[in-house]
């Protein structure tokens, strides 16, 4: 009994020790290539041949991993979203939605936009014209709204935020989608770090005003 129970654990340990599998490495290679291409060319103009060449793979090898460029973009979105989801860590770790915690979280959002500008801009634009991609994009981003609404409720219970109406969900949704739109507008054009700092300051101030106790 114990030998059978231990076998999966030993197998898992060997897999971890061996590092990423070849397929995982290839997929990372493809997604990295796609992100580089998006910085130089609109997604609508990209072809699978472009992605294959940038990845250093044959066209047939690329199709083994992704059936279309849309599928590759979806995988890149999932990978990037996983990183973006950590932007709420300053809020959940602090256990509150006060000004200092929110400023750190918005700074993290800004850093991610800076590091993944082309990808995030493409996700936003593709979501506007592709119903399927747009639904997945919105569903993932709505998880941030849920987190923010919960934090607002916590601030209300603690007496640090005004009690609605509007509801916590309504405030969180309006503020978050404003944040998303403002970062998209900033990073779709040339700008300075001072512009980024100003946007972080503005969004932080608007958050505080939106939930401040009266």
pLDDT tens-digit series, residues 89-125: 767 766 667 788 889 999 999 999 999 999 999 999 9
Give dist(CA 107, CA 103) in Å, integer: 6
Q: Looking at the predicted structure, is the pLDDT value of residue 163 above 50?
A: yes
Q: Looking at the predicted structure, is the pLDDT value of residue 41 above 80?
A: yes
The predicted pLDDT at position 11 comes to: 43
Q: Looking at the predicted structure, is the pLDDT value of residue 164 above 80?
A: no
pLDDT tens-digit series, residues 165-213: 889 999 999 999 999 999 999 999 999 999 999 999 999 999 988 887 5
Residue 162 banded pLDDT, cuts 50, 70, 90: confident
Q: What DSSP line would sit under 68-87, residue for residue?
A: SHHHHHHHHHHHHHHHHGGG
| Strand, coil or helix: 212 | strand
The predicted pLDDT at position 54 comes to: 96
Q: Looking at the predicted structure, is the pLDDT value of residue 19 above 60?
A: no
CATH code for the structural domain at 74-211: 1.10.357.10
The predicted pLDDT at position 157 comes to: 84
Q: Looking at the predicted structure, is the pLDDT value of residue 8 above 70?
A: no
Give the contacts of 129 (CB within 8 A, at least 6 positions apart).
none
| Strand, coil or helix: 140 | helix
Architecture of domain 6-67: Orthogonal Bundle (1.10)
CA 47 and chain centroid, separation: 24
Residue 3 banded pLDDT, cuts 50, 70, 90: very low
Same fold, 6-67 and 74-211: no
Residue 145 banded pLDDT, cuts 50, 70, 90: very high
pLDDT tens-digit series, residues 52-73: 999 999 999 999 999 999 999 9
Give me the residue spans of the domains in the chain.
6-67, 74-211
Q: Using an 8 Å Cβ cutoff, are 69 and 51 in contact? A: yes
């Amino acid at each position: 009994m114990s030998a059978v129970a231990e076998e999966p654990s030993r197998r898992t340990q060997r897999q971890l020790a061996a590092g990423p599998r070849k397929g995982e490495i290839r997929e990372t290679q493809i997604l990295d290539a796609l992100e580089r291409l998006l910085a130089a060319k609109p997604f609508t103009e990209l072809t699978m041949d472009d992605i294959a060449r940038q990845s250093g793979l044959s066209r047939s090898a690329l199709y083994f991993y992704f059936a279309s460029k849309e599928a590759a973009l979806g995988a890149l979105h999932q990978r990037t979203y996983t990183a973006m989801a950590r932007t709420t860590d300053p809020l959940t770790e602090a256990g509150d939605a006060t000004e200092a915690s929110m400023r750190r979280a918005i700074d993290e959002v800004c850093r991610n936009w800076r590091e993944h500008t082309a990808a995030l801009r493409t996700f936003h634009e593709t979501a506007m014209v592709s119903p399927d991609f747009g639904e997945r994009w919105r569903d993932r981003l709505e998880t941030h709204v849920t987190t923010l609404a919960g934090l607002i409720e916590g601030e209300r219970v603690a007496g640090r935020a005004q009690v609605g109406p509007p509801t916590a969900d309504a405030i969180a949704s309006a503020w978050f989608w404003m944040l998303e739109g403002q970062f998209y507008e900033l990073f779709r054009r040339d700008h300075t770090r001072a512009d980024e700092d100003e946007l972080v300051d503005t969004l932080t101030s608007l958050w505080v005003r939106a939930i401040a106790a009266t």
